Structure 1
Amino acid sequence: MLLVLCDLAEEGKLAGALLRRDGDLVFRFSSYWKVVAPRRQTKPDISFPFYHLKSEGFWQALAADGRPATDRRAAVLAQMEAPFLVCLSHPKFRSLARRTLIAKYFQPHERAELYSLVELPVPPEDVIAADAVRFLPEKESGSQRDAKFAVRVLPAYDYTCALTSYRMLALNGKTALDAAHIHQLKLGGHNHPTNGIALAKTAHWLFDHGFWSIGDDFTILVAADRFDEAGDASHLLKPRAGHPILLPTSKHYWPARECLKWHRQQHGFETR
């Protein structure tokens, strides 16, 4: 949970002292839980840390009416103390907090994976974690890679399809959106979030098969001569041509133009 708070602070999403236990929080928590899932017998349940952090002195677990929560199920809001928020606002504190949490509460092989997930080098003093790296596969597994990519791309787009503006995030952290690669991995693409875009599943399929692409000005390009379509106007692709895609609030996550160019060339929207 504390690792999630560091991520939210880094992305500028802890604007106030009041935090809501919503789908975004659950999604992020579940992404970290996958690291420890093999040694856990239970499914991820954010209600435990969300409620029990009240014992740490910087956190008050509240019910929906703003009163102190009497049990973990009722805790849907959290009031964070101002000094704690100030600490989270400093990059050096977040880096030290992440390193300390990972070193203290996780097993060696988990530490190595978590350092990678939060994009921190293995600290020299953490000898056990450094040794654990040697026993990890040289390449990340598909599930590890996809989880890391998704946890950066989907929140950046607020779980909203860049093509259709359809947003869906369940209260349990599940979403119908895909974190799609612009330049496909199997064809030489990378896992940086600027090679990603949030898409609903139909939009993702149409994108991967070259029925639409994205210009350098982030407008929608449609290969209208390659397909026929029918149905409700709001579901059609062709009328979207020339309209802008939905972009993340932070330019740090906007699609890289070199990735967009690759996609256009790969699918015949422009010559190489």
Structure 2
Amino acid sequence: MGTITKALDLLSHFNSERGEIGLASFVRLSGGDKATVRRHLVELEKNGFIDKNPQTRGYHLGPAVLRLASVREKHFPVRTAVMPVVDAMAADLEELVHASLLQGHVMSPVYHADTLRHGLRVIFDEAEMLPLHATSSGLAMMAFGPESVLDRAIAGGLSSYAPNTVIAQSDILHLISRFRTRGYSFSDGYFTKDVISFGMPFFGPGGDAIGTLAVPFPRSRYTADLAARVLVALRDGCRRITQSCGGTVPEALDAMWDRLPDTVTEIDIEGPVS
């Protein structure tokens, strides 16, 4: 891992529960030595990526992050495209809905919405990167994104996150093959125990999948009717986002979406290997 990558990787330790991090915590979280971590923090602060709280001596994200986010959104307004779609889907389904973009070997969440109607619900951290092989978001990208995404994802060792996480290459390839014939992905306890999730891709101007929509919910709430409603909402949402982003859904996938079933039975989500 290069010096620049190591410095920027420190920013990934910020999340919704950890808005300020001190030097000692950065050392513990990153596994680096104190002198090197301090040097990286000084460079990040000098360039505006982090600010130092003079009272606590902890660091929080700096103005450069806001400036770059604003510039990106102006020229590539994905968040603007996904927000109304995700909000509408969450209100209609009364379930958590989230959108993510491909970032290297993971999916990076950009927006989520949850009506908080249910007492039992999926807790979502928008700062947490989503692994490709263990989430419906990542699996949808592997199935419908550039072939290089799948190749990179299965080339290295795959981590297990829950009892049902699929880590064998042959099982991953079997799943991807199934998803490509159905037009959507699913995970059944792959990332979080007892959570089912369905996912679909949306496309950018270049014709490639650039991100995904996903709807996770507790397995105890699964019904064939809910699954069918989720798939229709995902299809319509991905079409809207693709159009807003100036992209086009591939004809073969669009045709599959037109043939989505009225119900999704238990056998459709019964496990990674037939």
**TM-score normalised to structure 1 length:** 0.31
> Which has a greater percent of strand?
2
Structure with bigger gyration radius: 1
